Amino acid sequence: MTKVKNNYFPLLVAVAFAYFAFGAITNVAGAIVPKIKETYHVTGSASSFLAAVFFIAYGLTSVPFGILINKYGTKLTLVFGSLITTIGVFMFASVPGYYANMAAMFICGVGITAIQVAMNPLVKEISNPEKYSRNLTLFMVLFGVGSTVAPYIVTFIKSRGLEWNYNYWLFTIISIIMLFGLAFPKYPEEKRQEAGSKKQDGNFTELLKDPLMIMYALAIFLYVGVEVGIAYNIALFLEDVHKVSNVLGNHAEAAKNAAVGNYWFGLLIGRLIGSFVLDKISTKKAIQIYISCAAISLAVAVFSKNLTLVLWAFPFVGFFISIMFPSIYGLAIDSYKKEYSSMVSGILCTAIIGGAVIAPIIAKVAEITGSVAEPNWHLGMFIAFACYAYIFTVGIWAKQKG
């Protein structure tokens, strides 16, 4: 169990809720991609891109937020990020349209970027630092709860006769709670550097020249990309390959949303169990075992002709990729001195832009090798297998203490 340091329990609760909140806001997109396609009459790759533009914010703002943390502290950055997120979800709820939704999604991404860049290192400060990978995995379980619940909310909203964008009114309320929750607790004291100081700039430049840092960043880029890429394309895959609307009729949309939710539920359970696995075996060995099993599960999901087997396989994909982000992130943080943590976090969170790249690429490759009307998802999903192959190598070359 995560050990809380000193008097940071209220902050721990606020951080826990924030992981749930930004999990739901980030990963509801997998369920709304088909709705975007239907509502705005765009291609599958275009609808995936609208959802994935969220992650472009990580590429543009992670390092600036890392600098902001060094200058103004974690608390201000978290509150600022929560405010931006609230503005973004409110815009998505209140202003319809493909490009308006894209702008709102980007703003949400900026806010969540600030939260994640500041919050991931904070976990180490408010809990047992010797078990950082495990503790971060436990917090990511709550991220998984939000991710799992979000697609079911889409189904619930429809069952009440409301438009799909009403999800974002609920997210507005959740974001406001997150904002106030992070604004008031006591935070650990921090040593801050002036933005633009020679020491800080030197640290950042040194990290960017380090091949190991680049390899970690690429691993995060591909991991987030493939995690999101599969989630965002599950519903389209089920429709195009297994014709679920014809097979299930009026129950098809609920089944597709459930498939996305179950994928995230598998990831949630994987992280919960993975936190104990990481206590027993090395992080590097766990990466190799888990990513190999993920590849096998994805092969079953993609190539099986049995719909029931496919619907079971996707949650297993989620289960076996569950420990990748906290494991890679933890290995990277532990590879550098403590004073580098904010910069390392900023670089790693910049790499989360992979979520904006891999998902549309999977859909685009499927369309190019097939057609817009009948995408070749079997070839499109080979992008995911390539990502898994690189992640496997992390278990070979990564540094690990102890």
User: pLDDT tens, 96-107?
Assistant: 899 999 999 999
| Residue-level pLDDT at 182 | 93
- Give the burial string for 145-181 (b: 16+ CB within 10 Å, else e): bbbbbbbbbbbbbbeeeeebbbbbebbbebbbebbeb
The model's pLDDT over 344-381, given as tens digits with 9 standing for 90+, comes to: 877 887 888 898 899 899 999 999 999 988 999 999 99
| Residue-level pLDDT at 345 | 77
Mean pLDDT of 35-57: 86
Q: Can you say how many angstroms the Cα of residue 39 is from the centroid of all Cα atoms in its chain?
A: 25
Give the Cα separation of 296 and 250 in Å (integer): 32
pLDDT at 198 over 60: no
CATH of domain 9-181+195-397: 1.20.1250.20
Q: How confident is the model at residue 388 (pLDDT cuts 50, 70, 90)?
A: very high
Which of 135, 80, 79, 81 is closest to 109 using CA atoms? 81
The answer to whether residues 42 and 129 touch, using CB atoms and an 8 Å cutoff, is no
| Residue-level pLDDT at 402 | 46
Share of the chain above pLDDT 70, in %: 92
Q: How confident is the model at residue 80 (pLDDT cuts 50, 70, 90)?
A: very high
Give the Cα separation of 291 and 323 in Å (integer): 9
In 3-state terms, what secondary structure has residue 51? helix
Which of 130, 114, 112 is closest to 73 using CA atoms? 114
Q: How confident is the model at residue 133 (pLDDT cuts 50, 70, 90)?
A: low
| Residue-level pLDDT at 5 | 56
Mean pLDDT of 18-38: 87
User: What's the chain's average pLDDT?
Assistant: 87
The model's pLDDT over 244-302, given as tens digits with 9 standing for 90+, comes to: 988 888 888 888 989 999 999 998 898 888 878 888 889 999 999 999 999 999 999 99
